[in-house]
Amino acid sequence: MKAVTWYGKHDVRVEEVPEPEVTEPTDAIVRVTLAAICGSDLHLYHDEIPGMLPGTVLGHEFVGVVESVGPAVRAFKKGDRVVGTFHIACGHCRACRRGDYHQCERGGVLGYGLAFGNLPGAQAELVRIPYADVNLRPIPAGLSDEQAIFAGDILTTAFGAVKNAGLRPGERCAVIGCGPVGIFAIQSAQVFGAAKTLAIDLIEKRLALAERLGAIPIDAGKSNPVSRVMAETGGEGADVVIEAVGGSQTLELAFDLVRGGGRISAVGVSAEETFAFPLMSSFTKAIHFHLGVANIHRDIDATLALVAAGRIDPTVIISHRLPLEEAPKGYRLFAERKATKVVLIAG
């Protein structure tokens, strides 16, 4: 079968690889119809994540049709249309029983290398999904592949970030980064009832999309985002700040933007090991700070329901639709910020 494979910095290829097979009774094989390139794949593309082996099949955002299932799979059968969660959970370990699916003791991330379970990814014609009953969801009737795909990762990541921040109706939410995750954070903040969403980025096109969705755009390259957010919040700062870039620079900015008693929720992936935490000011301002990998299983049913109800249109971010064979071009366009979101048509 054809699959997108990783060979090092800025080197992804489309190759013939062996087809996956059911190896555990709880596995399903999914025939991928649509896969996306995630901002997290860019960290691999820039060779920032340790533990990648040359030839690793990439990709963790996908929808498809169930091709075959192991004998222990109860919820799915051949022919079912499904969306998959980007991280795999077993459903039975101590963490999963607690609802911390992102901390599963047997878990991993599809297509993210040795440090994340060494699971082949979904930018391929077929993908093996372990614990299929736990990690797949049926696509609600009437939803297209493009409407469903992001529930398995970035839409639910952004929604969960806003939920983790405890955003209440009438609050003001600043979103740092208007990539696909930031755009979905804006849409999620509006669903949670934000009175004002402030969108910070450096790219005009992405800010324009944020503005079309009802946010106030702030170009951090042209104006000081701290003074702009202060001006928009009566000098207080944002009630909630969502960090959707990754790295210490934008984390520092989040602490500057948040009001006293406010909440920061950061979902950007950081390759840096440490970060100089603003200890004294966070103490005196009594800041809540939440950081981490998303818990997709906790929130995916909610995001699918919101999309099905027409409350969130996730297709607004798609700028490029390419055949799987053109994945290297898709990675290049996304890395060069010439594409907002690339989806790969696999079948």
Q: Which stretches of the chain bind ligand NAD, using CB under 6 A?
A: 38-40, 42-43, 153-154, 157, 176-182, 200-203, 206, 220, 244-246, 249-250, 267-269, 293-294
We find the least distance from the C-beta atom of residue 278 to ligand NAD, in angstroms, to be 17
Query: Which residue stretch of 99-107, 192-200, 288-296, 313-321 sits at the interface with Zn ion (rule: CB under 5 A)?
Result: 99-107
252 SS3 class: helix
Tell whether residue 27 is a contact of Zn ion (CB under 5 A).
no
Residue whose beta carbon is closest to ligand NAD? 179
The amino acid at residue 112 is Y
Tell whether residue 269 is a contact of Zn ion (CB under 5 A).
no
Which of Zn ion, ligand NAD, none does residue 165 bind (CB under 5 to 8 Å by kind)? none
CA 215-166-202 angle, 5° bins: 30
**H helices of 235-314, where?**
248-257, 279-285, 296-308
Sign of the alpha-carbon dihedral angle for 171, 172, 176, 179: positive
Residue 175 Cα distances to 32, 124, 283, angstroms: 32, 33, 22
Q: What is the rounded distance in angstroms from the CA atom of residue 287 to the CA atom of residue 308?
A: 35
For 86, left (φ over 0), alpha (ψ -120 to 50), or beta?
A: alpha
Query: Which residue stretch of 91-99, 212-220, 223-231, 260-268 sits at the interface with Zn ion (rule: CB under 5 A)?
Result: 91-99
- 210, 201 in Cβ contact below 8 A? yes
Tell whether residue 28 is a contact of Zn ion (CB under 5 A).
no
Which of Zn ion, ligand NAD, none does residue 314 bind (CB under 5 to 8 Å by kind)? none
Which of ligand NAD, Zn ion, none does residue 185 bind (CB under 5 to 8 Å by kind)? none
Strand extents, DSSP E, 202-251: 216-219, 238-243
Which of Zn ion, ligand NAD, none does residue 181 bind (CB under 5 to 8 Å by kind)? ligand NAD
We find the least distance from the C-beta atom of residue 146 to ligand NAD, in angstroms, to be 16
Closer by beta carbon to ligand NAD, 294 or else 304: 294
Contacting residues for 11 by C-beta, under 8 A, at least 6 apart: none
Which of ligand NAD, Zn ion, none does residue 90 bind (CB under 5 to 8 Å by kind)? Zn ion
Tell whether residue 155 is a contact of Zn ion (CB under 5 A).
no
Query: What tokens were used for 95?
Result: 């963490």
Binding site for Zn ion (CB under 5 A): 38, 40, 86, 89-90, 93, 96, 104, 153
